[in-house]
Amino acid sequence: MKDLEVEDSAQVHAAFLVYMDLTEVRQWKDVSCVKSTEPDVVLLEGRKKEGSPVQTVLPLPVHQSLSHRSIRRVLDRGFPMLLCAVASDSTLVYQRMTDGLVTPDPPAGPFQDVGRRQHRKRRQQH
Amino acid sequence: MAEPPCREASPVVAVSLCDSAPLLWRVEDLRAVRSQGLVGALLGSLPRTPRQNTRLGRPLLLLPEEERLLTERHGAALPPGPQDGGGAELRQQVDKYKEDQQRSYEEQSVLALEDRKSALLRATSFTHTGSEPGAGTADEALRGRLESLDQSFTFPRSGLAVQLSTARAGLSYCPEARAFLHADWPVRGLDDLHCNARYQVFRDLRRRGYYLTSAGKFGGDFLVYPGDPLRFHAHFIAVCLSLDESVCLLDVLAVARLGSNVKKTVLLCSPGTDSGVVYTSLQWSGMV
């Protein structure tokens, strides 16, 4: 990964941590690292399972900033994209980024009409 | 003479500016604006239920983007200023009002006197338990008291009941209300980069048929509804930024986490180069 010659060593370190997480913990297949010019970072590509489509992961230390344009550049590579924020204690947080307007999942059922008693209880709490 | 412009398509609403806040006061204006897909926010308290803020009344505050959109569609105008004959008309109205008050006072004095007399009669008839011998003198005393009441009774001006008519024929006809609604001409047209980004996003989403309201509660710029907010929950929290604006990853995390907690997708919106808008949906990753 160091051979990719990306200047930001913090980002390279973050990429390494994500690489270890994907391969050892989540057991993704075919994980490889790719250098991206704009933004100047190391990207990871891999599959969740054998035969599933390739996804791009953008690892970033949590204190760095980024622009919408650089996110779009990574999205424009054509693969589903995950942004991974790496904290100073190596905690990893993944977020999915998609082009366009994606309707959120509706709340899960089954739904029950709350009785009057519950409403009164809730009102009294305030 | 030019024909009056067809008003059915986009009626012109009267926007009152109160210290740079665009307000709508008339019910027909609120209805017209809602039918164009602009929601706004009600600010006023309702006269019958003043001490709560779940249900508010007029005026309606427009978002700066909504006001700008109305201006672009030539759908907004300031309410008409005071007419030239205002002075004479006003004097006539004041004179008429004074006459009405005087007439009402005279009527009420008469009624008050009647009321006093009947109260007196009632009081004496209670004490009078029909004892025959004292009847004559009691009657005379009563008549005497009634006569003195006739002469000395005065109805105080402070006791006058005044009727206030609350249904007005539209605030545009009321000069005092107009003076209150007008403030100094405010500084309009903020050319802030962020404001411009917000407006581009607002216009694009509105054109796609979404309804937008302010998202101060969620730390975003707009809440995006797939239809009228009275019928749907919001689907998206829109965060407007320019393409090259750099944002700290911590802020992205915070807003994404909030979005997942309230079951809304966070939408990063940036006006693009060709007057289109670029959208990126941010969702909490299901694999974590």
CB contact under 8 A, B285 and A101: no
Let me know if B263 is a catalytic residue.
no
CB contact under 8 A, A71 and B256: no
Q: Does residue B263 contact residue A104 with C-beta atoms inside 8 Å?
A: yes
Instruction: Establish if B284 touches chain A: CB-CB under 8 angstroms.
Output: yes
Q: List strand residue ranges (DSSP E) for A25-126, in order.
A: 29-36, 41-47, 54-61, 65-67, 81-86, 92-99
Q: How many CB pairs under 8 A join A and B?
A: 102
Instruction: Establish if B268 touches chain A: CB-CB under 8 angstroms.
Output: yes
Q: Tokens representing B256? A: 């994404």
Nearest to A104 among B247, B248, B263 (CB): B263
In chain A, residues with a C-beta closer than 8 Å to the C-beta of B241 are 68
Q: Tokens representing B92? A: 């006539």
Find the catalytic residue in B225, B235, B263, B279.
B225
Q: Enumerate the H helices of B84-236 as residue ranges.
A: 86-127, 135-152, 175-181, 193-207
Q: What residues have CB less than 8 Å from B50, skipping those under 6 apart?
A: none
In chain A, residues with a C-beta closer than 8 Å to the C-beta of B248 are 63-65
Amino acid B187: pLDDT: 44
Instruction: Measure B199 CA to nearest chain A CA, in Å.
Output: 18
Amino acid B2: pLDDT: 38
B116: three-class secondary structure by DSSP: helix
Torsion of CA A107, B280, A101, B66, to 10 degrees: 100
| A:17-46 residues touching chain B, CB 8 A cutoff | 26
Q: What residues have CB less than 8 Å from B17, skipping those under 6 apart?
A: B23, B78, B182, B183, B185, B186
Complex confidence, ipTM: 0.82
Let me know if B98 is a catalytic residue.
no
Closest by CA position to A13, among listed A49, A50, A60, A52: A60
Closest by CA position to B108, among listed B146, B70, B162, B56: B162
Q: Between residues A44 and A120, which one has the greater pLDDT?
A: A44
Q: Residue B131: what are its φ and ψ, rounded to 5°?
A: -80, 120
A77: three-class secondary structure by DSSP: coil
Nearest to B267 among A85, A96, A101 (CB): A101
CB contact under 8 A, B281 and A99: yes
Q: Enumerate the H helices of chain B as residue ranges.
A: 27-35, 64-72, 86-127, 135-152, 175-181, 193-207, 249-261
In chain A, residues with a C-beta closer than 8 Å to the C-beta of B281 are 96-102
Let me know if B211 is a catalytic residue.
no
For residues A2-12, give the mean pLDDT. 80
Query: How much is the pTM?
Result: 0.69
Amino acid B83: pLDDT: 55
Split chain B (288 residues) into runs of 10 and give each run's mean pLDDT.
42 79 89 92 90 91 90 73 65 87 90 88 72 63 80 84 66 48 46 83 93 88 93 92 90 90 91 88 76
Q: Does residue B245 contact residue A67 with C-beta atoms inside 8 Å?
A: yes
Amino acid B86: pLDDT: 60
Instruction: Measure A71 CA to nearest chain B CA, in Å.
Output: 9
CB contact under 8 A, B279 and A101: yes
β-bridge mates for residue B281, sequence order: A98, B267
Q: Enumerate the H helices of B153-208 as residue ranges.
A: 175-181, 193-207
Amino acid B180: pLDDT: 45
β-bridge mates for residue A81, sequence order: A56, A97
Q: Does residue B126 contact residue B79 with C-beta atoms inside 8 Å?
A: no
In chain B, residues with a C-beta closer than 8 Å to the C-beta of A97 are 280-283
Q: Tokens representing B257? A: 């986490």
CB contact under 8 A, B270 and A68: yes
Nearest residue in chain A measured CA to CA from B238: A101
Torsion of CA B48, B49, B50, B56, to 10 degrees: -110
CB contact under 8 A, B280 and A93: no
Cis ω before B80 (30° cut-off from 0): no
Q: Which of A52, A96, A126 to mutate to test the interface with B (most CBs of B within 10 A)?
A: A96
Cis ω before B133 (30° cut-off from 0): no
Q: Which of A28, A97, A105 to mutate to test the interface with B (most CBs of B within 10 A)?
A: A97
Instruction: Establish if B6 touches chain A: CB-CB under 8 angstroms.
Output: no
Segment (H or E) for B222? strand B222-225
Instruction: Establish if A88 touches chain B: CB-CB under 8 angstroms.
Output: no
Instruction: Convert the pLDDT of each residue in A87-124 to its tens digit.
Output: 999 899 999 999 989 888 887 777 777 777 766 776 66
Instruction: Convert the pLDDT of each residue in A50-84 to its tens digit.
Output: 889 999 999 999 999 999 999 999 999 889 999 99
Instruction: Establish if A108 touches chain B: CB-CB under 8 angstroms.
Output: no
Torsion of CA B163, B166, B171, B174, to 10 degrees: 0
Helices B86-127 and B135-152 pack at an angle, to 10 degrees, of 170
Q: Kindly state the DSSP code that residue A98 receives in the 8-state scheme.
A: E
Instruction: Measure A86 CA to nearest chain B CA, in Å.
Output: 10
